[in-house]
Amino acid sequence: MENVFIMDHPLIQHKISMIRKKETGTNEFRKLIEEIAVLMGYEALRDLPLEDVEVETPLETCMTPMIAGKKLAVVPVLRAGLGMVNGITTLVPSAKIGHIGLYRDPETHEPHEYYCKLPDPIDQRQIVMVDPMLATGGSAVAAVNFIKQHGGKKIKCMFIIAAPEGLKRLHEAHPDVQIYIGHMDRELNEHAYICPGLGDAGDRIFGTK
Ligand code: PRP
Ligand code: URA
């Protein structure tokens, strides 16, 4: 599938297996989510544009490549996406950060918006939307809709675990968006949870429930 990238790095796979374990506590879970975001970000950002700039070394002046263009924008989908932000800013410390607040209705599984604040202007920036889970895809489609409504054009989405249903829905709704997935899981259950998954990502990151 064009614009869909499934990670196969062994370190990413190993760490995803660690976060699946039900006995992995909040502290370790948070650290692992951040580490996975670093590793996935490293892969997802390999096509960032470069431009040659003049630099003076202790020996001479040279032209040398640096990241070109406006500062990148990281956009976590609240709450669970917050756990991935530091992973991306470890790689790109100058990144701006936007927030999109969405929660899934427990009955209908439909996303509800409660907050949206993005760096302005957004149209020229590379945007990296982050959320650990892509389940039905409802939240991701809504989040990308918001970003596009605000003028966002160059959009990458990163998910640590995805269900086939969610990937299909997001890719069909936004075929221009580059989608990065740590691991493709089997299916959704009747409560729209990803199986085998890791449970509720927000609760596991923030220690709620
Ligand atoms: C989770 C997750 C995604 C969403 C995925 O958030 O972080 O945003 O569910 O589900 P979907 O693909 O079916 O829309 P949740 O709604 O549980 O909110 P929370 O992060 O605040 O706990
Ligand atoms: N949100 C989660 O946190 N986990 C799932 O399995 C599905 C949606």
* 170-194 pLDDT per residue, tens: 999 999 999 999 999 999 999 999 9
CA of 79, nearest ligand number: 1
Q: Residues with Cβ < 8 Å from 94, sequence gap 6 or more?
A: 71, 72
CA of 5 relative to ligand 2 center, distance in Å: 20
Nearest ligand 1 atom to alpha carbon 109:
13
> What confidence tier does 209 reach under pLDDT thresholds 50, 70, 90?
confident
Give the mutation target among 85, 100, 103 for probing the ligand 1 site: most ligand atoms within 8 A of CB.
103
Contact 119, 107 (CB under 8 A): no
Instruction: Give the single-character DSSP code of 56.
Output: E
Residues 6+ apart with CB under 8 A from 107: none
Closest ligand to C-alpha of residue 138 is: 1
Smallest-distance ligand from the CA of 201: 2
Nearest one of 144, 85, 148 to 122, comparing CA atoms: 148
Q: Which atom of ligand 1 is nearest to the CA of 203?
A: 22
Q: How much is the average pLDDT of 145-153?
A: 96
Q: In the chain, what's the furthest Cα-to-Cα distance?
A: 66
For ligand 2, atom 2, the nearest C-alpha belongs to 200
pLDDT at 106: 87
Nearest ligand 1 atom to the CA of 166 is: 12
Residue among 133, 146, 169, 190 whose CB has most ligand 1 atoms within 8 A, to mutate = 133
The per-residue pLDDT for range 88-133, each reduced to its tens digit, is 999 999 999 999 999 888 899 889 999 999 999 999 999 999 999 9
In the predicted model, what is the mean pLDDT of the chain? 97
**Residue 72 in contact with ligand 2 by CB distance below 6 A:** no
pLDDT class for 61, splitting at 50, 70, 90? very high
Q: Of 105, 191, 200, 205, which is best to mutate to test ligand 2, by the most ligand atoms within 8 angstroms of its C-beta?
A: 200
Does 194 sit in the ligand 2 pocket, CB within 6 Å?
A: yes
Q: Are strands 194-195 and 187-188 parallel, antiparallel or unpaired?
A: antiparallel
- The pLDDT value given to residue 104: 85
